[in-house]
């Protein structure tokens, strides 16, 4: 028997999982708030698969992310709010509407012009919905990860000219924020320490943006590198008959430098 390769089977699976009488107890008890963290996690796993360049993994993770969309749509349908078909119709309409240079007769010169037009269309859509916020920062989702939201806020501000002319001056700002953090630490001012740490992150994110580096992806790569090296330290300590936790910091640093030199070779 050949398996159907269409969305209808996935929708049927989801409906069965949520069936109050014969479905899965875990799936039945979920709601939008409990599923949202899983949706975010799956999006991150898609990004991780892309970083690995693993197409088989990417295929699987995209499937997991699609399932999250289906899950939310099913819960909405149960409430009579909208269906998966409505989700598809909405995104089709949006893409057609926001690409008049592709599906209409508008003339847009380049990617920068397209970005500007995209934001103009989004502003018109917000106005049509009765949203009165006319700020250049309007519509930047509060649900984004902190690093992503910082980049978006900075990009929006840059569109009206509020931006550093080059990356070099931002290093002065970074040093300034670092000095202010040191002062807050010296004053043992917990609230100010948190604020200055945030300012330091924001300045560093600005540097990443100006260098066209995704700060989230850069940090994930750094996390992965640290994990690999730390695990290698543990392995090296075991091979030497040592307990890593019993070594002083100098000995641990020496071991870290050793595995770093191996991984960098």
* 1, pLDDT greater than 50: no
Mapped onto helix, strand or coil, the DSSP state of residue 99 is coil
- The per-residue pLDDT for range 52-104, each reduced to its tens digit, is 899 999 999 999 999 999 999 999 999 999 999 999 999 999 999 888 888 88
In terms of Cβ atoms closer than 10 Å to its own Cβ (0-12, 13-18, 19+), residue 148 is middle
**Is the torsion defined by CA of 206, 207, 213, 214 positive or negative?**
negative
The residues, ordered by sequence, that sit 6+ positions from 148 with a Cβ below 8 Å of its Cβ are: 216
> Measured between alpha carbons, how far is 112 from 203 in angstroms, rounded to an integer?
24
Beta-carbon neighbour count of residue 185 at 10 Å? Answer: 14
Closest Cα partner for 154 from 166, 169, 136?
Answer: 136
Give the pLDDT of residue 129: 80
The whole-number average pLDDT for the span 119-128 is 77
pLDDT (tens digit, 9 = 90+) per residue, 135-182? 888 888 887 888 989 999 999 999 889 999 999 999 999 999 999 999
Mean pLDDT of the region 116-132: 77
Percent of the chain with pLDDT over 90: 69
> How far is Cα 57 from Cα 197, in angstroms, rounded to an integer?
36
Q: What is the mean pLDDT of residues 34-38?
A: 94
Looking at every residue in the chain, the average pLDDT score rounds to: 90
**Residue 3 confidence class, pLDDT cut points 50, 70, 90:** low
Average pLDDT over residues 6-20: 95
Can you tell me which residue has the tokens 């939310």? Answer: 72
- What was the pLDDT predicted at 168? 94
9 token code pair: 């089977």
Please report the pLDDT score of residue 84 as a whole number.
97
């Amino acid at each position: 028997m050949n398996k159907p390769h269409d969305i209808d089977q996935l929708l049927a699976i989801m409906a069965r999982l949520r069936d109050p009488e014969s479905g899965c107890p875990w799936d039945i008890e979920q709601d939008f708030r409990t599923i949202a963290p899983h949706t975010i996690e799956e999006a991150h796993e898609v990004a991780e698969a892309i970083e690995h360049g693993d197409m088989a993994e990417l295929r699987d993770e995209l499937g997991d992310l699609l399932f999250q969309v289906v899950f939310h749509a099913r819960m909405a349908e149960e409430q009579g709010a909208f269906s998966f078909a409505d989700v598809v119709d909405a995104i089709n309409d949006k893409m057609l509407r926001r690409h008049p240079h592709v599906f209409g007769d508008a003339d847009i010169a380049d990617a920068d012009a397209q970005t500007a037009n995209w934001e103009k269309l989004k502003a018109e859509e917000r106005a049509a919905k009765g949203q009165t916020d006319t700020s250049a920062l309007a519509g930047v989702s509060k649900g984004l990860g902190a690093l992503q939201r910082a980049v978006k806020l900075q990009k929006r501000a840059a569109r009206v000219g509020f931006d550093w002319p080059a990356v070099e001056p931002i290093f002065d700002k970074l040093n300034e924020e670092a000095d202010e953090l040191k002062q807050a630490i010296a004053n043992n001012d917990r609230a100010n320490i948190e604020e200055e740490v945030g300012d330091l992150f924001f300045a560093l994110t600005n540097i990443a943006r100006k260098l066209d580096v995704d700060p989230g992806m850069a940090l994930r790569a750094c996390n992965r590198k640290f994990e690999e090296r730390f695990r290698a330290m543990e392995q090296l300590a075991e091979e030497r008959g040592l307990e890593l936790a019993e070594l002083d910091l100098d000995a641990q640093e020496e071991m870290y430098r050793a595995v770093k030199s191996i991984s960098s070779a």
